[in-house]
Amino acid sequence: MKVSQNIKVAVDAVVFGYSNKLKILLIQQKFGVNVNKWALPGGFIKDTETLKQAVIRELKEETGVKANYLEQLYTFGAINRDDRARVITISYIALINPKNYFLKATTDAKDAKWFNINNIPKLAFDHKEIIDKGLERLKAKINYQPIGFELLSSKFPFSDLENLYQIILEKKMDRRNFRKKMLSFGILQETSEFQKTSIGRPAKLFKFNETKYKELERKGFHFEIKFT
Amino acid sequence: MKVSQNIKVAVDAVVFGYSNKLKILLIQQKFGVNVNKWALPGGFIKDTETLKQAVIRELKEETGVKANYLEQLYTFGAINRDDRARVITISYIALINPKNYFLKATTDAKDAKWFNINNIPKLAFDHKEIIDKGLERLKAKINYQPIGFELLSSKFPFSDLENLYQIILEKKMDRRNFRKKMLSFGILQETSEFQKTSIGRPAKLFKFNETKYKELERKGFHFEIKFT
């Protein structure tokens, strides 16, 4: 097949994390015209790997993290998005709990670090645009899929879940209604454990029951959180 | 920049149309290992065009249609999806009204034809999978964005809109509630025209008021149709 094309293909990952604030995982470039600039973890696809395998490999090499939740986001193909060559990049969203990983930058990355989403440095390429697209998807998706749990510890006080939604959606909500709705689904399980707090009474810990969720989903259940 | 990569990049379009049934626009391949097989319109990206420009060009060349509504769908990158080479394809959804176009196949296409979505021939590559993904997106999206109007004539009897939703969502709905809800948004405009019908009284024609919709959208209005 003769196709004259001079285009390279890459993947990039928008990795969201949460610890009281919404965070994003960035790497500092070690080489190239963007040396020292911060950017999304990512890189060129190998001929023998799928898109998803490429993202997983790049994430591991450049940051040391392994995401359970990985979803294709959008493909960016503006002609001059990379000064070096025509590069089309397929972006992915990943959700992880920062506490579970020790960051470790190797290969093309000099450093890997979590940044508060409201305080990110100037980024290389069109990576700011990719993050904006990722944020838009995250905000839409936590309303109708229980993906928020990926960002929390396996056991968490209810207030963490509440705070997560408020932070991501950037709005205050009716806490009573939120709690009532969340518990009504039957996908949150009370544990017998408590989190010690410095003030007030200890908070009961909950966990997300994924098996139950999958079972309900098969029966046609739709997770849906609505704020007005 | 030295990147050793032997990957080609293409675009493919899932073009939906509607005339009593939901239709999809397919082309018959003129060349290659898949000669005579039906496939989605699409082809390789030129170095100097964006992804969207590539889809628009391919659609024009292979089918003669020009879509007003074009949205990126998903990027498919399985290693062996094309026997000839490693080809990654960025798929798009397009919505058009078949009545507005005379189909005309040129370049790589031998023929271009509308097929009922429930009666498509065996397709080349992974194009069936791409259509399934497109259908999933269409079904989700008509619930929260007024994209259905792209598929109708500019003036239509209310029953056409009703039928469109029922066909795409593959379910019967409460017609009274649907009508009430649709009209409550204020984005449908009654015209003074009627459609002659062979039986019963003539049906009043409506049109979608896009200006009004954009205005409402700016004020935070969310279009949402819900069936239970």
Chain segment A66-96, per-residue pLDDT in tens: 998 999 999 999 999 998 899 999 999 999 9
The DSSP letter of residue B29 is: E
Instruction: Please count the CA atoms within 13 angstroms of the CA of A202 that sit on its side-chain side.
Output: 8
User: Of B141, B170, B203, which residue is a domain's last?
Assistant: B141
Nearest CA in chain B to A222: B228
Structure tokens at B46: 């030129």
* Range list of β-strands (E), chain A: 8-19, 21-29, 38-39, 42-44, 69-76, 87-95, 109-116, 156-157, 188-195, 203-208
Determine the residue among B49, B52, B88 to mutate to test chain A binding: the one whose Cβ has the most chain A Cβ atoms within 10 Å.
B88
Distance CA B100, CA A120 (A): 48
Record: contact B79-A49, CB cut-off 8 A:
yes
pLDDT at residue A159 is higher than 70:
yes
Q: The dihedral of CA A193, A70, A170, A64: what is its sign?
A: positive
Is-contact B104 B64, C-beta < 8 A? yes
A8: nearest CB among B5, B51, B74: B5
Residue B227, in any domain of the structure: no
> For chain B, which ranges sit under pLDDT 50?
none
- C-alpha to C-alpha distance for A127 and A133, rounded to whole angstroms: 10
Give every CB contact of residue B194 below 8 A, 6+ residues apart in sequence.
B202, B203, B204, B205
Q: What pLDDT is attached to residue B228? A: 53
Size of interface A-B (CB pairs under 8 A): 72
B141, B161, B176: which is the final residue of a domain?
B141
| Residue B179 to chain A, least CA–CA distance (Å) | 24
- Nearest by CB: B9 against A48, A78, A88: A88
Domain match, A94 and A202 both:
no
Do A38 and A130 lie in one domain? The reply is yes
In a domain, B228, yes or no: no
Query: Of B75, B84, B86, which is closest to A72 when you measure between CB atoms?
Result: B75
User: Quick check: A149 pLDDT over 60?
Assistant: yes
Distance CA B72, CA A205 (A): 41
In total, chain B counts a number of residues equal to 228
Q: Which one-letter DSSP state was computed for residue A211?
A: H
**Given A141, A171, A187, which residue is the final one in a domain?**
A141
Count how many domains chain B has.
2
The answer to whether residue A228 scores a pLDDT higher than 60 is no
Question: Minimal Cα–Cα distance from A54 to chain B, Å?
Answer: 11
C-alpha–C-alpha distance, residues B38 and B51, integer Å: 23
Q: What is the pLDDT of residues B5-21, one digit of tens each?
A: 999 999 999 999 998 89
Both structure tokens of A129: 């645009």
Chain A residues whose CB is inside 8 A of the B90 CB are: 75, 77, 88
**With b meaning 16 or more CB within 10 Å and e meaning fewer, what string describes A44-68?**
bbeeeebbeebbbbbbbbbbebebe
CA B32 and chain centroid, separation: 26
> Which residues on neighbouring strands pair with residue B9, listed in sequence order?
B88
In a domain, B3, yes or no: no
The alpha-carbon gap from B178 to the nearest alpha carbon of chain A, in Å, equals: 21
Q: What pLDDT was estimated at residue A32? A: 82
B165-180 pLDDT, tens digit per residue, is 999 999 888 889 999 9
Within chain A, where are the H helices? Answer: 51-63, 127-141, 158-169, 175-184, 210-218
Alpha carbon distance B117, A27 (integer Å): 45
Across chain B, the runs of DSSP E, i.e. the strands, are 8-19, 21-29, 38-39, 42-44, 69-76, 87-96, 109-116, 156-157, 188-195, 203-208
Span A172-206, pLDDT tens digits: 888 899 999 999 999 999 999 998 777 778 889 99
Mean pLDDT confidence for A213-227: 84
Closest CA to B94 of B12, B28, B171: B12
**Partner-chain residue, chosen from A9, A44, A49, that has the shortest CB–CB distance to B9:** A9
ipTM score: 0.92
Distance CA A140, CA A135 (A): 9
Q: What is the mean pLDDT of chain A?
A: 92
| Closest-CA residue of chain B to A5 | B47
Domain with residue B69: its CATH number is: 3.90.79.10
- Does some domain include residue B2? no
Claim to verify: residue A125 and residue A163 sit in the same structural domain: no
Q: What is the pLDDT of residue A227?
A: 64
Instruction: Give the largest Cα separation in chain B, rounded.
Output: 71
More confident residue, A97 or B33: A97
Q: Which domain holds residue B105?
A: 8-141
Q: Are residues A55 and A132 in the same domain?
A: yes
Q: Is residue B226 within 8 angstroms of chain A, CB to CB?
A: no
The three-state secondary structure class of A175 is: helix
**Residues of A whose CB is below 8 A from B140:** none
A46 Cα to chain B: minimum distance (Å) = 7
Q: Answer yes or no: do A124 and A42 share one domain.
A: yes
Task: Tell me: do B137 and B173 sit in the same domain.
Answer: no
- Nearest partner of A43 among A16, A17, A8, judged by Cα: A8
Helices A158-169 and A127-141 sit at what angle, rounded to 10 degrees?
A: 130
Instruction: Say yes or no: B165 and B187 in one domain.
Output: yes
DSSP A149: G
- What is the 8-class DSSP label of residue B123? B
* Nearest-angstrom CA–CA distance, B58 and A107: 39
The pLDDT-based confidence of A224 (bands split at 50, 70, 90) is confident
Same domain, A152 and A120: no
A3: in domain = no
Q: Do B7 and A47 touch (CB under 8 A)?
A: yes
Q: Is B94 on the interface with A (CB under 8 A)?
A: no
**A50 near B77, Cβ under 8 Å?**
yes
Q: Is residue A227 part of a domain?
A: no
> How many CB atoms within 10 Å of residue A129?
15
- Structure confidence at residue B227 (pLDDT): 64
What is the overall mean pLDDT for chain B? 92
Rounded Cα gap, residues B41 and B142, in angstroms: 23
B72 contact A CB<8A? yes
Nearest CA distance, B12 vs chain A (angstrom): 13
